[in-house]
Amino acid sequence: MPAGSFTVGGQTFTNLPAFCRVVVVATPSPDSHIGLEVWMPAAGWNQRYQQSGNGGFAGAIPYGSIASALRLGYAAAGTDDGHIGGTATFAPGHHQQVIDFGFRALKETTDKSKAVIAAFYGSGPARSYFVGCSDGGREALMEAQRFPEDFDGISAGAPANDWTHLFTGFIWNEQALFADAASLVPAAKLPAIQRAALAQCDKLDGIEDGDVSFADNTTAGTINSTDPDLSRFKAHGGKLIEWHGWDDPAIAPRNAINYFESVVAAQSRGEDEGRLETTQNFFRLFLAPGVLHCGGGPGPNVFDTLSPLVEWVEQGTAPERIVATKFAGDNPANGVLMTRPLCAFPKFAEHKGKGSTNDAANFVCRARDDED
């Protein structure tokens, strides 16, 4: 593809370098149809591979993330996770496609993409990175847990990793929401979309603990990525950055903390402080005040996890803080409103007591039990 603009999937991407685009369909089972694409710079490859995660129920190749990685010199790839369309309608009666969505499409994409890269350049990538948020965060943790040797660095944003419990919560919340609406307004006067949703909630009425247990026993092992044992990823030398917005209305930030703490607890060293130190040698969590689900929000919502991840992997410098920026009107052209440091959990940003609170330089990262 020539340098400049490129349109695909109803989206137009600009300022792209000349690149080779390879379109692949993988069929690891008779019922599989995994779409994936690999984009490789025609010149100036940085010797790195980046695989991008999806959002929601996937169903489309994440072209925007692939294009962003390509501009940075990466050979980049992504997948539709084995189906078209961003809903779960593919799942009933198609167990193999559920497996593809859960984890197999990720592995197919990694293996096929690295083979394509090696064929194109004559050698494979020197370093490999995975970046994703929401379902992509679930996928990122899945990579660290199930395929720990495939990536050197992983960025997992707002991970939907406890998938079966998360969607149980969504159903419960919708039942409560529309039940409240029905109690205030006669169903016949509700908007059509709310009437339809209320009807669906009536069908789902009475989700019991046994139903959740059934989902855990049948589906969680395929879709959830909650395994705290990252020993193989650690032994591989992998580095993991997890981040989550404190104002996330879709997935509670406590979910990210819970997973981090479960990994800390799984470390072999006996004392809490020792287990935390051992974990932070390969896994760090950053929480972003005022940030919504995977971005946006009233807080400093623009920050980069890939650059510190690359520095950690390739230079051995672990990130103590990541500086986040809030632009006026969320537009860089309007200037900077504030910067704040995101500190490696469990530390938090504390103002030094002098200087502007809108300047990250005037904050320190502090543990809650530090003495003044």
Q: Is 293 a catalytic residue?
A: yes
Q: Quick one: pLDDT at residue 335?
A: 96
Q: Which of 305, 311, 321 is nearest to 366 (CA)?
A: 321
Element (H, E) at 112: helix 105-121
Distance CA 279, CA 233 (A): 12
Give the amino acid at 298. Answer: P
Q: Write down the mean pLDDT value for the chain.
A: 91
In a domain, 148, yes or no: no
Segment 27-49 shows an average pLDDT of: 98
Q: Quick one: pLDDT at residue 372?
A: 45
Residue 103 clears pLDDT 60, i.e. is over it: yes
Q: Is 134 a catalytic residue?
A: yes
Residue pointed to by tokens 């919560």? 169
Choice among 32, 52, 65, 134 that is catalytic: 134
Residue 193 clears pLDDT 50, i.e. is over it: no
Q: How far is CA 89 from CA 58, 99, 131, 225, in A?
A: 12, 14, 26, 22
Q: Quick one: pLDDT at residue 217?
A: 83
- The pLDDT-based confidence of 181 (bands split at 50, 70, 90) is low
Residue pointed to by tokens 């209320």? 198
Q: Quick one: pLDDT at residue 184?
A: 55
Residue 233 clears pLDDT 50, i.e. is over it: yes
Q: Is 150 a catalytic residue?
A: no
Segment 179-208 shows an average pLDDT of: 52
Q: Quick one: pLDDT at residue 288?
A: 97
> Lowest-pLDDT range, 20-24, 186-190, 241-245, 321-325?
186-190
* Tokens read off for 293: 């689900």
Residue 186 clears pLDDT 80, i.e. is over it: no
3-state SS class at 273: helix
In a domain, 202, yes or no: yes
- The pLDDT-based confidence of 298 (bands split at 50, 70, 90) is very high
Q: Residue length, the chain? A: 372
In a domain, 190, yes or no: yes
Segment 105-118 shows an average pLDDT of: 98
Residue 322 clears pLDDT 70, i.e. is over it: yes
In a domain, 207, yes or no: yes
Cβ contacts of 259-263, under 8 Å, gap ≥ 24? 259/141, 259/159, 259/161, 259/162, 259/226, 259/228, 260/285, 260/345, 262/226, 262/228, 263/228, 263/230
Cβ contacts of 204-212, under 8 Å, gap ≥ 24? 204/171, 204/175, 205/175, 207/168, 207/171, 207/172, 211/168, 212/164, 212/165, 212/168
Q: Which of 149, 147, 111, 317 is nearest to 237 (CA)?
A: 149
Q: How far is CA 174 from CA 199, 202, 305, in A?
A: 11, 11, 33
Distance CA 366, CA 372 (A): 10
- The pLDDT-based confidence of 214 (bands split at 50, 70, 90) is confident
Distance CA 83, CA 60 (A): 8
Distance CA 160, CA 67 (A): 24
Q: Quick one: pLDDT at residue 173?
A: 72
Instruction: Tell me if 57 sits within 8 A of 135, measured CB to CB.
Output: yes
Q: Quick one: pLDDT at residue 167?
A: 83
Task: Read off the pTM.
Answer: 0.90
pLDDT tens-digit readout, 272-296: 678 999 999 999 999 999 999 999 9
pLDDT tens-digit readout, 1-24: 999 999 998 999 999 999 999 999
Segment 337-352 shows an average pLDDT of: 96
Q: How far is CA 136 from CA 53, 67, 161, in A?
A: 4, 16, 9
Q: Quick one: pLDDT at residue 118?
A: 98
Residue 311 clears pLDDT 60, i.e. is over it: yes
Q: How many structural domains is the chain composed of?
A: 1
Burial of residue 369, with CB atoms counted within 10 A of its CB: 0-12 exposed, 13-18 middle, 19 or more buried: exposed
In a domain, 273, yes or no: no
In a domain, 46, yes or no: no
Residue pointed to by tokens 């993409």? 113
In a domain, 183, yes or no: yes
Element (H, E) at 243: strand 239-245
Residue 198 clears pLDDT 90, i.e. is over it: no
Q: Which of 174, 73, 61, 72 is nearest to 109 (CA)?
A: 61
- The pLDDT-based confidence of 183 (bands split at 50, 70, 90) is low
> Between 217 and 123, whose confidence is greater?
123
Residue span of the structural domain in which 201 resides: 163-223
Residue 297 clears pLDDT 90, i.e. is over it: yes
Work out the end-to-end distance of the chain between its first and last CA atoms, rounded to an integer number of angstroms.
Answer: 59
Q: Which of 184, 187, 147, 139 is nearest to 163 (CA)?
A: 139
